Amino acid sequence: MSASNREIADQFERMAAMLQITGANAFKVNANAKVARTIRDQAIQVADLAADTSALTELDGIGASSARKIVEYVQTGSIQELKDLESRVPPGLLQVLELPGLGPKTVQVLWEQASIESIDDLKKAIDDGSLLSLPRMGQKTIDNIRDSIEFAASSAGRIRLGDAMPVAEWIVDELASTGACRTIEIAGSLRRGQETIGDIDILVDTDEPAIVSDRFTSLDGIQKILAAGSTKCSIRLEEGIQVDLRIIPTESFGAGLMYFTGSKEHNVLLRELAISSGLRLNEYGLFPATEEDAPPQELGIEPVASGSEEAIYEALELPLIPPTMRLARGETSLQKIPELVRTSDIKSELHAHTTASDGRLSIKELALEAKSRGYKVIAVTDHSVSSVPGNGLSPERLLKHIEEIRHVDQEVDGIRILVGSEVDILSDGRLDYEDELLEQLDVVVASPHVALRQEPKVATRRLLRAIEHPLVHIIGHPTGRLINSREGLSPDMPALVEAAIEHDTALEINANPHRLDLRDIHVRVASDAGCLVAINTDAHDASHLDYLEYGVMTS
């Protein structure tokens, strides 16, 4: 059978969750979770390696046993060990385990001692008071569980980067307006630019914690205050987003920022490096190692470094690793950090729409908006004829549109307006316009919009045909995915990159936060190989040009 990376990773995540519930040792749980992460992080299709287990075991975190399970799933569509677990663990317990604040040990107790096998069972046990008879189940704990159930029911799960960032920036501005913050930083997966985040983390250094905490817990739009302490406050906003505020002293702010930025896997690598150097790293600083069990800060030991991230990395003999690279993908072995793309480096927008198709700006309005942001070039790339939802242009309409774009280009000074089109890549790889029409365009962005559940090999052939077309300049959002709603295509990305290099075709990072396609692991493959990458916003109105920062974070 053909299986996507997401599908295979889901099997190992499911095994890890069920092993947790059944009380398996942490090593086995973590091993399965690591296999799932490894598979999700691959640009190649892991199923294509299933003919050779040695090729699978070359992937970090995949041992011989896991490789056999991958082969078993690809060949049969199931994994016997997972089937055995599923026969023992009620499926509804996995949803219980996902509730905020409920760990595997608690879920195991609920199952074994109260016969709770689903969230509905848990609700009934709360309502009839039977949970109070369980160990460590006081009224406050039960109230927290009830709140978690209500939150899970109203929450859509992980939040897209582009939905969370404006909220975090607004909160930062509100806290900064108190004048009580010496330093204030966004941390967590949001600082790392991950495509989705679980919650928002904000760190503050202040001499007036009460002022900052009071402002935080009185923000507009709070659904519930979850905690209000002297060092940590938590709120839940009406949008369902949880925001945690941590107040950290100046002397350990760098260590705290590093710790709460993560990723967890990156922090593990740093701690291992510290240990190998006779040091100990935690959220309070980098300390000389001791034989005492107590944390070094509690023993009065002075840190080697703690006030800034840069000082800690330097003490570990590492360059300052940017947050977007802290993913445990070899960054701690780098002697020098490559120069990263900044939003100020981008001077051209090569994928944008106007009122001619489904945009909200005229050609001139789009050009002036781009010019005001410092762009030197804007390409008008309205949809092609097959895009019925996008009001795609017929060949006749496109010819007239070309004339209008050329006219506005002569009229507006200070920015070059290119004639383009976002041309559909049809299901067999053909383009939506004939070559005679494409030849009249300055920029052709070829994008998949339909048949987005094709088998990986079919999708690869389809995209290769577009990449190899001599009139195509950019492959727009190559997989067609929509974050949190559509997986999109799963092509052989290294094969696409190789062909793109050969034919001088760029692959796009579509910066729209619903897409971020190419995703980060695909960008890594492309950039490492020397492939051209275009960061575009796919702007449909003026505000969409602000999406650029998300594309840059993904790069």
What integer pLDDT is reported at residue 153 of this predicted model?
65
Q: Provide the Cα torsion 489, 449, 427, 443; round to 10°.
A: -110
Asked whether the predicted pLDDT for residue 296 surpasses 90, the reply is no
As a whole number of angstroms, the distance between CA 422 and CA 534 comes to 14
3-state secondary structure of 225: strand
As a whole number of angstroms, the distance between CA 11 and CA 85 comes to 11
Lowest mean pLDDT among 25-39, 225-239, 312-326: 25-39
Residue 257: count of CB within 10 angstroms of its CB? 24
Chain-centroid distance of CA 180 in Å reads 32
Look over the chain and give the mean of its residue pLDDT values, rounded to a whole number.
92
Name the residue among 148, 6, 21 with its Cα closest to residue 92: 21
Name the residue among 425, 415, 418 with its Cα closest to residue 380: 418
Upper half-sphere CA count for residue 230 (Cβ side, 13 Å):
3
Name the residue among 479, 385, 383 with its Cα closest to residue 432: 385
374, burial (CB in 10 Å: exposed 0-12, middle 13-18, buried 19+): exposed
3-state secondary structure of 63: coil
Asked whether the predicted pLDDT for residue 343 surpasses 60, the reply is yes
Structural domains in the chain plus CATH codes: 5-154 (1.10.150.110), 159-247 (3.30.460.10), 252-333 (3.30.210.10), 343-554 (3.20.20.140)
What integer pLDDT is reported at residue 152 of this predicted model?
66
Taken in order 468, 349, 192, 530, the sign of the CA dihedral is: positive
What integer pLDDT is reported at residue 435 of this predicted model?
98
Mean pLDDT throughout 361-376? 97
Structure tokens at 8: 């295979």
281 or 131: which carries more pLDDT confidence?
281
Please say whether the beta carbons of 253 and 203 come within 8 A: yes
As a whole number of angstroms, the distance between CA 239 and CA 222 comes to 9
pLDDT tens digits for range 193-230: 999 999 999 999 999 999 999 999 999 999 999 999 98
- pLDDT band with cut points at 50, 70 and 90 for residue 188: very high
pLDDT tens digits for range 250-295: 999 999 999 999 999 999 999 999 999 999 999 999 999 988 877 8
